[in-house]
Every structure is written in structure tokens, then in C-alpha cells.
Chains A and B, each alone.
Chain A
Amino acid sequence: MSKPKLFLSHDEIEITIKRLAHQLVENHEDFEGSAILGLQPRGIVLAKKIRDAVKEILNLDKINYGDLDSTFYRDDFRRNEKPILPNEVNIDFDIQEKRIILVDDVLYTGRSVNAALSALNAYGRPENVELMVLIDRKYNRELPIAPDYFGKAVDTRGDNEKVIVEWKEGKNKVWISSNE
């Protein structure tokens, strides 16, 4: 395995988050009927950063925000050696007729987003749903799912390469490692 390559530095990620937050404000204006949902477990760090950035731009104390877990809706349950254990769901508002933005760190096969869409249905019927990801791994999709907002796209080839997103205070980084 070769040494992982740095794909996004901390500063680049900061700039990308600001840009993504501005794009959201452009489309959702005052955020009155909109809500951000972070996908458990890996999407919530980014989702919270986006939430804070949007609040800062709009000068609001609070916008609708929640964590969504899709474990029970996954199509790979029991394909693993061990059971997939669920994470917490925290949604303290009604998603009915809201404009939902799902946030995850990496979009790869699209299967976890598919599960999240099913999970979302159990909470009500949103007006519409958009998808935001930090990294879009193109050419690896197994389902017809595309992001509405993305940080950076990358052309990785299947399972030989891995995208690693590291969230560490002041040292956020995205790496690409390869098995070849």
C-alpha cells in the first residue's frame, strides 16, 4: 500500500465549507422552512460545521438541525460478519413539508444515501430532499444518486482506493490512499 496522498488540507476544507454554506443560503434564503440533517455516523461533523456556517451568514441563533441514522434501512444488514449497530437519531422538529438537506462526508456507491431516504420516510413527508457531500467519488455509483452540492469530486477506481476524511480540531484533512 502506497503512502496516502493529501487531497484537501485544513484550510481548503474551511474554504469549501464556507462556499457550501453560501450555496445553501442562496437556495434556501432565510432557512425558515428548511432543515439540515447529518447522516450518522460520519456525516454529522460536516453537517454541524455547515449548520454553524449558515447560522453565521444569516445571523440566526438557531436553524432546524438533526442527526439521522439509517442503520435499520440498510440493504447490507447481515451481509457483514457482525451486526451493524444503530446510532442515535436526534430530530426535534417535524420534517413534514420541510426542505431537507442531507449531509454526508463521502458519496461513494450511493447505498447509504438510499437507506437514509427510506429512513427519512418514517418521520414524515418532506417537501423536497437535497444531498450535500464533501467528497463526490465519481464513477463508483451503484444507484442513480447525485449530489446537489459537493465540495470536491474525485475520480477514484473502486475498492483499490480509499478516501479518508479526518476530523481533528484545527487539523481537518482528506486523504486518498491506494492499494496498488
Chain B
Amino acid sequence: MNKQKELSTSHLLGIKNLTKADIELIFETADTFKEVLSRSIKKVPSLRDITIANLFFENSTRTKLSFELAEKRLSADVVNFSSSSSSVKKGETLIDTVNNILSMKVDMVVMRHPSPGASEFLSKHVDSVIVNAGDGTHEHPTQALLDAYSIKEELGELKGKKVVIVGDILHSRVALSNIYCLLKLGAKVMVCGPKTLMPRHIETLGVLVENNFEKALKWCDVANMLRIQLERQDTKYFPSLREYSMQYQLSKEILEKIGKKITVMHPGPINRGVEITSDVADSAESIILNQVENGVAIRMAVLYLLANKVVKKSNEKE
């Protein structure tokens, strides 16, 4: 018999809405797609009757490429859209833009948007399967899934593992999604950074809060280094980037001082010399490029599992 399990949700809006079983199902499916990606012919015909629109209302390199590759490896038809070259600038609303695209018979929408909650809003107002590729400072679910998947691959399991997320927690959707995902899978999570970049009441999510970088490193098995999101900062949160680096930069010196093996992660884009030095980013402990590689398999798994919801919807209509 074929194993028949499915996701508990019809969209991927955030990790918050997923169950532990959902995450495990995505990981299991991603394992098989990793094998597909190691073949000489990396394409499978599973989604050949599905059209996916990638709507990017905010800049992205990695996520957009990764989604597009995942869609193409699954044989889906892909249309791309970025707000810099669109009618959004002319004053069209989000619902109008998306409904116009959907009337061209698009089955799934992958969206990145600068406003938190944009994908959830869309899922309530348009008739399509929505995948959140990052909504403002809220969530970035596929990044959290590929991060957790990469840790699992490196350390064998997540249960009981200690992960510290360092940097601009306040503006980071990666941090929030990671916290939800890691806690659901039984890992211990700490956030570390300057007090000004720490959201109030973040400890109520069940994470530890630490302002001292060295203490945080001594505690952890894995360090996920975040970029300082200057583009989202409307005011000065710390005196200068140089001062931030002096306190929170992951460098060879500090790792040698700690004297234990820490797995190093970064969701990209890296600001070399700010949150992480080049020698650490390129070291054997760094799994930054594995994260990127796993991203395609994770996104294939998500799209594959959600594609089933597309046809169900169209069957209901008949």
C-alpha cells in the first residue's frame, strides 16, 4: 500500500499553523527529492498540470531562485512577477493584482511581501493555494523548514539540541519561523542580540534570552547568525555596525576561545565582516551552502504536498 498522509493545512502561511506531523511529513518527502536531485536527470513530471505564480513584492535572490528551481524540477509551469516592474506601482491593490493573475488560470501562488500577514490576508480573499515566501517581519516558513532539516541532517536529530539565533531578532522573519519550527521539533532555542533588537516578551514563546554573545555560544550546539536588516530599521538601534561587530560577530578568535565545535548557519545574504567573518563562513563547521542545497528539496516537498489541495478545490467546484 502507498502511505497516505497529508498536510493538515491547504496553504503554507507560517510554521505556527503547522503540526509536528506536518513538518515530519515535509522532511520525509524532502528526503526523496534530495535523491531525485542527485540523479543525472533531475526533473520529475509530478506537477506537469500545475501553474505557479511567483509574486515577489520585495527583493530576493536565493528564495526566488530556489522556488523557481523547485517548481521547474517538478515540471510545473512558472510565471514570475516582481513589483518593481508591475502595475503595483500604478496603485493596484494586492487582491486585484492576484485575482488578475489567477484569472489566467494559475493554480498556486508563491508570495513574498513586505507587509506582515500579507499571505494570510490573501489566503482569505482569493481562491488559490498560497505559499508564503516571507511576509515582512512575520514569518518565512520554508527557510525555517530548510534550516531545521539541515540541522537534522548534520546532527542526526533535533530533539534536545541547543540552537542559538543571533542578531536582529526584532526585524527577522527567519527568527520567528525558526523559533516555532525548532520548538515544535523538540529543540531548545535561545535568542541573542542587543537589547534594542530583541522584541518585547519574546520569552513567552518559550525561548531563552541572552545578551552576552560568549555565554550564548558556550551554551549552544548550533549558531544561526542573522543579518542586520538595515533596510527595515527606521531608527538607530545601536551606535554603529562596527560596534555591533565587536560584540556579536562570529569569528575564529571567539570560537577558539570557546573551544568547542559549533555548527554554523546563516540564512543569507551574508554581510561578511559584520555578523560573521569569512574564515568562519567558509569553515568546515559551516553548513551555509548545505542550507541552500536543501532549500530546493524542501520547497519541492512543500509544493508537491500542497498540489494535492489544488485539485481538491477544483473538484469541490464541479
Interface residues of A (CB under 8 A from B): 41-42, 69, 71-73, 77-89, 118, 121-124
Partner of B32, one of A86, A123, A124: A86
Known: A72-B46, A121-B41. A89 touches B308 (CB 8 A): no
Give every chain B residue within 8 A of A72 (Cβ-Cβ). Answer: 36, 44-46
Partner of B3, one of A42, A85, A123: A85
Give every chain B residue within 8 A of A73 (Cβ-Cβ). Answer: 44-46
B297, chain A: closest CB distance, angstroms: 12
Known: A72-B46, A118-B45. A84 touches B2 (CB 8 A): yes
- Contact B32 A77, beta carbon cutoff 8 Å: no
Give CA–CA (A178, B35) in the complex, Å: 40
Interface size bucket, B side? 20 to 34
Instruction: Kindly state whether residue B4 has any CB partner on chain A within 8 Å.
Output: yes
Give every chain B residue within 8 A of A84 (Cβ-Cβ). Answer: 2, 4
CB-nearest residue of chain B relative to A85? B3
Instruction: Kindly state whether residue B99 has any CB partner on chain A within 8 Å.
Output: no
Give every chain A residue within 8 A of B36 (Cβ-Cβ). Answer: 72, 122
- Contact A82 B44, beta carbon cutoff 8 Å: no
A177, chain B: closest CB distance, angstroms: 16
**Sample of 18 more A-B contacts, CB < 8 Å, known A85-B25, A88-B35:** A41-B2, A71-B32, A71-B46, A72-B44, A72-B45, A77-B307, A78-B307, A78-B308, A79-B311, A80-B308, A81-B4, A83-B307, A85-B5, A85-B29, A86-B32, A121-B41, A122-B40, A122-B43
- Contact B39 A123, beta carbon cutoff 8 Å: yes
Known: A72-B45, A121-B41. A80 touches B4 (CB 8 A): yes
Instruction: Kindly state whether residue B28 has any CB partner on chain A within 8 Å.
Output: yes
- Contact B46 A77, beta carbon cutoff 8 Å: yes
Give CA–CA (A111, B85) in the complex, Å: 45
Give CA–CA (A78, B161) in the complex, Å: 37
- Contact A83 B44, beta carbon cutoff 8 Å: no
- Contact B39 A122, beta carbon cutoff 8 Å: yes
Give CA–CA (A73, B48) in the complex, Å: 10
Ordered by A's residue number, 6 sampled pairs between the chains whose C-beta atoms are within 8 Å are A78-B308, A83-B307, A84-B4, A85-B29, A123-B40, A124-B40
Give every chain B residue within 8 A of A85 (Cβ-Cβ). Answer: 2-5, 25, 28-29
CB-nearest residue of chain B relative to A118? B45
Give every chain A residue within 8 A of B310 (Cβ-Cβ). Answer: 78
Give every chain B residue within 8 A of A81 (Cβ-Cβ). Answer: 4, 312
Q: Which of B247-271 contact A (CB under 8 A)?
A: none
4 smallest A-B Cβ distances: which pairs? A72-B44, A86-B32, A83-B308, A122-B41
Which of A42, A89, A118 has the largest count of B CB atoms less than 10 A from its CB? A89
Give every chain A residue within 8 A of B304 (Cβ-Cβ). Answer: 83
Instruction: Kindly state whether residue B153 has any CB partner on chain A within 8 Å.
Output: no
- Contact B6 A82, beta carbon cutoff 8 Å: yes
Give CA–CA (A79, B36) in the complex, Å: 23
CB-nearest residue of chain A relative to B45? A73
Give every chain A residue within 8 A of B305 (Cβ-Cβ). Answer: 83
Instruction: Kindly state whether residue B284 has any CB partner on chain A within 8 Å.
Output: no
B6, chain A: closest CB distance, angstroms: 4
